Amino acid sequence: MTVKTGTYCLYGLTLKSEVPLPCPRLESDQVVPDVELCECSEQELSAACNRVSKSFQDDGFWQCRIFEDETAYVHWRDHFEFVVLPNGRRVLWRKLQDVPDEVFFTYFTGQVLSYCLLLRGIEPLHATAIVVDGEALAFLGDSGDGKSSLAASFLSKGYSLLTDDVLVLEFLEDRVLTHPSLARIKLTPESANAIFNGRRAIPMNSFTSKMIFPLQASQHIGELARLRVVYVLPESSSDSQIAIRRLFGPASFLPLIQNTFNNAVLNQSRIQQQFAFAARLVRLVPIKQLSYPKGLELLPRVVDRILADLKT
């Protein structure tokens, strides 16, 4: 990576980095950044973690440790490690091997930056959003629920992606705006074969078959878009017909709590923040359950059903 300090904008935050980031760069680098991304040595990173730990998670590839002062240490085996300092204004990082820039960007702008967002009271959702007629449709669900595959099916019909995997919202009076993310989408080879005609891209890591697909400018929206509806994807395969029904009460509230993008940070203030966020969102935006038979060949029919739902 070429070292050239710049100031960038993503999710409404200003980011200062010596690593060129694939997001809009501000004309002036004199702006006080919200987050500063700093490469550091192993010794510097270890010193930043010399604190009392209060929680630890490890799935074999991803590891996260939260310290009592809210410093977060995040590590991906044989890839890189990050430390998010307590106020979220500074992120230290170190590569553990030579990984592609696209992989680094994906993890930083997703999982790592989510810690900085939470420290500012912003709740990111685990969702992918596309734009239809100038408004955003969000697909909410866990990993493997098919969010990106469904979004890619919209792309194949000429619609544009707003964000993949990380949905950051901004409340503006009676409207909810969605922030764009990077112009890329993550897909399994099976989805790529079915939707992108076998096009190949950059593997994320050796623990998943997913690949990172950079998008053309015409396939990505880089501006804020009003959120029209949130579709909750089914958690498991369904034998039912394609169906959409609006959720009310706790049924609309709980999917938002369950599908936060970051479940490593858990404390009383975070829980209160989540509930306030969800309560506000369900008042302003319809939350709908989307059910459909699993199968990539059926996704074009699902897209048509969603488009029909928007007209009702």
**For range 178-184, the mean pLDDT:** 96
Which residues span the domain enclosing 11? 6-119
Both 269 and 247 in a single domain? yes
Both 113 and 207 in a single domain? no
Give the pLDDT of residue 198. Answer: 64
Give the pLDDT of residue 4. Answer: 66
Both 102 and 241 in a single domain? no
Burial of 193: CB neighbours in 10 Å, binned 0-12, 13-18, 19+: middle
Both 148 and 240 in a single domain? yes
pLDDT band at 200 (very low <50, low <70, confident <90, very high): low
Both 77 and 154 in a single domain? no
With a cut of 90, say whether residue 27 has pLDDT above it.
no
With a cut of 60, say whether residue 223 has pLDDT above it.
yes
Q: Is residue 1 part of a domain?
A: no
More reliable by pLDDT, 247 or 241: 247
Both 258 and 165 in a single domain? yes
Domain count, the chain: 2
**For range 23-50, the mean pLDDT:** 91
| Averaged confidence pLDDT in the chain | 92
Both 296 and 149 in a single domain? yes
Both 89 and 209 in a single domain? no
Q: First-to-last CA distance in the chain?
A: 49
Strand pairing category for 225-232 and 287-291: parallel
pLDDT band at 193 (very low <50, low <70, confident <90, very high): confident
Distances in whole angstroms, Cα of residue 192 to Cα of each of 39, 155, 189, 198, 212: 34, 12, 5, 5, 10
Both 131 and 208 in a single domain? yes
Both 206 and 301 in a single domain? yes
- Percentage of residues of the chain with pLDDT beyond 90: 76
Q: Is residue 174 part of a domain?
A: yes
pTM (predicted TM-score): 0.93
Give the pLDDT of residue 1. Answer: 43
The secondary element (H helix, E strand) that includes residue 75 is strand 72-76
Both 235 and 139 in a single domain? yes
pLDDT by residue (tens digit) across 50-98?
Answer: 999 999 999 999 999 999 999 999 999 999 999 999 999 999 999 999 8
**162, 221 in Cβ contact below 8 A?**
yes
**For range 138-151, the mean pLDDT:** 93
Q: How far is residue 71's CA from residue 115's CA, in Å, rounded to a whole number? A: 9
**For range 249-274, the mean pLDDT:** 92
Both 183 and 268 in a single domain? yes
Give the pLDDT of residue 271. Answer: 92
pLDDT band at 2 (very low <50, low <70, confident <90, very high): very low
